Structure 1
């Protein structure tokens, strides 16, 4: 591997499972994408970028890695889309049960079906904040309900789903979307109060699924289905910071980085976004303060002893 065994190359003392507050699960999967391929390479590119990132955050005046970030073995199950979703579900739920702040980096968006399912079983009255260019609400696509185009259909039925940045969808999704909880890009661009409206629609517990194609392709071109008219860096950070300040964000995933050898800036943006989200989550918490993650689950342990397919190269 071209990056260290620890996230961002942090010292071992901050990377141990037993003491780390934060879990990072890589999911290098690209089994259901239909246009730009390469999301399975996203976690590796992301982790490589973290090794070239300053770990002091100026805005929050913190070094959040000192809270402890444990990088798990990647989930490499690829027998079927359903098997991948189930592996993600079991692994995510295992770490929530261990009282960790669980984060994932994909991989394409179908992995979030399993992630959201685990968080929804662990936290009462969950809001799923879906930040994306695409609605991803289809009940099935290409003969499967475990498809990237169906990433939040289950969430729309079982959670308080709020969608932000949407600017592309199929006509069938118009019959499935909740317009009162959907904040289309063409509306938010002219609405100075859109962030307040989004937060007002949330419950206390929030899980964030962040598809990188929510961002404008001028700042992040390396994604499978780039769409014009996306979010920009500082408006995204302002929005996320307010969510973290006003709600109990219980975890998040970031997906759909499709690295391009000629564009390292997208990899670095994804790395920086991940670290900023952690910084917002823990900015008021001392490194030695115990993380309080309240859940109520009946869990059966899953296998996390998984590796990248090319680790033996």
Structure 2
């Protein structure tokens, strides 16, 4: 895999699917090779390239359909060699380019701090929406290690904007974050309850907005299938729990966009990289089958 974060990698799934232009593609893949506040294991800047290189191993046909036939456009990587506010603005601009033509942006991380960019872009549409977060952590600290733009504070920054939040799979949080959940009226299905009780028939609250943005931190998955992430926590989601959760989160909703973050590739460990590429392609299939895409 190339070391240069901005070297032109393959377009997503381009071995089987001819890359589309911006206007013909339902899905816009936006690589974001950002790594600035990681606090344990590093390597998230290499995540987007790893996902793109793994995606060329995907099969075109998936569970009875061809999700890629809706069109996939892969944008140039967002420049991340700048202070955090500038990077977030760059990410927002790249996301708005897709939203402005009613396409579905799917951002490839990169560390979780990047989610503030697409959330700000969605907020500029002036459409009420909520965030559905798959994660091992709540990310609701006011700041972490003095950094307001930390990956551990990104959901705090998002809920600062008054955006409803529902969390799935959390199993590591501090007292400050538990209190913040109450103050911000954050709803959640934590990993232990999911393990023992399964998903409820209705995942999201009755008053949750129709439009949603999905943020999927891959450490929400169990380390047995996702070791390549900076802060792995035991007791996470398995593959089918992740798929089921995405389906339940999108059922009856309209999708504004999504990101898949915190992959930190490890030399010789190809399975986790391919897992994320496969998860993204499955996400495309779900969004189309459930008729969630804006038009």
Tell me the TM-score normalised to structure 1 length.
0.85
In the TM superposition, residue 116 of structure 1 has moved relative to its aligned partner by 1.1
**1:241: which partner in 2?**
247
Equivalent residue runs for 1:144-293 within 5 Å: 144-157=147-160, 158-178=162-182, 181-194=187-200, 196-198=202-204, 200=206, 202-283=208-289, 292-293=294-295
Cα distance between partner residues in 2 of 1:180 and 1:99: 28
TM-aligned CA distance change 1:77 to 1:14, over 3 Å = closer
How many residues are matched? 286
**1:297: which partner in 2?**
none
In the TM superposition, residue 69 of structure 1 has moved relative to its aligned partner by 0.6
**Could you tell me whether the CA contact under 8 Å between 2:228 and 2:266 is conserved in 1?**
yes
In the TM superposition, residue 94 of structure 1 has moved relative to its aligned partner by 2.3
SS in 1 for 2:78: coil
**Could you tell me whether the CA contact under 8 Å between 2:138 and 2:173 is conserved in 1?**
yes
**Could you tell me whether the CA contact under 8 Å between 2:44 and 2:110 is conserved in 1?**
yes
SS in 2 for 1:104: strand
**Could you tell me whether the CA contact under 8 Å between 2:17 and 2:60 is conserved in 1?**
no
In the TM superposition, residue 199 of structure 1 has moved relative to its aligned partner by 5.4
**Higher deviation after alignment, 3-12 or 228-237:** 3-12
Cα distance between partner residues in 1 of 2:290 and 2:189: 29
5+ long unaligned stretches in structure 2: 3-7
SS in 2 for 1:270: helix
TM-aligned CA distance change 1:224 to 1:201, over 3 Å = farther
**Could you tell me whether the CA contact under 8 Å between 1:85 and 1:146 is conserved in 2?**
no
5+ long unaligned stretches in structure 1: 286-290, 294-313
Cα distance between partner residues in 1 of 2:203 and 2:18: 41
Equivalent residue runs for 1:35-50 within 5 Å: 35-50=40-55
**Could you tell me whether the CA contact under 8 Å between 2:134 and 2:217 is conserved in 1?**
yes
SS in 2 for 1:110: helix
**Could you tell me whether the CA contact under 8 Å between 2:10 and 2:53 is conserved in 1?**
no
Matched, 1:32 2:49: no
Among candidates 99, 109, 118, match of residue 96 of structure 1: 99
State the Cα RMSD in Å.
2.0
SS in 2 for 1:9: coil
TM-aligned CA distance change 1:257 to 1:13, over 3 Å = closer
Cα distance between partner residues in 2 of 1:226 and 1:102: 26
Cα distance between partner residues in 1 of 2:157 and 2:74: 28
Equivalent residue runs for 1:59-138 within 5 Å: 61-138=64-141
For 1:246-295, what per-residue CA distance to the aligned partner results, in whole angstroms no more than 9, with x for missing partners? 2112210000000011211100100000000001111366xxxxx644xx
In the TM superposition, residue 50 of structure 1 has moved relative to its aligned partner by 0.4
Tell me the TM-score normalised to structure 2 length.
0.90
For 1:171-214, what per-residue CA distance to the aligned partner results, in whole angstroms no more than 9, with x for missing partners? 22122113760222122222234352435463211110000000
**Could you tell me whether the CA contact under 8 Å between 2:142 and 2:156 is conserved in 1?**
yes
In the TM superposition, residue 243 of structure 1 has moved relative to its aligned partner by 2.4
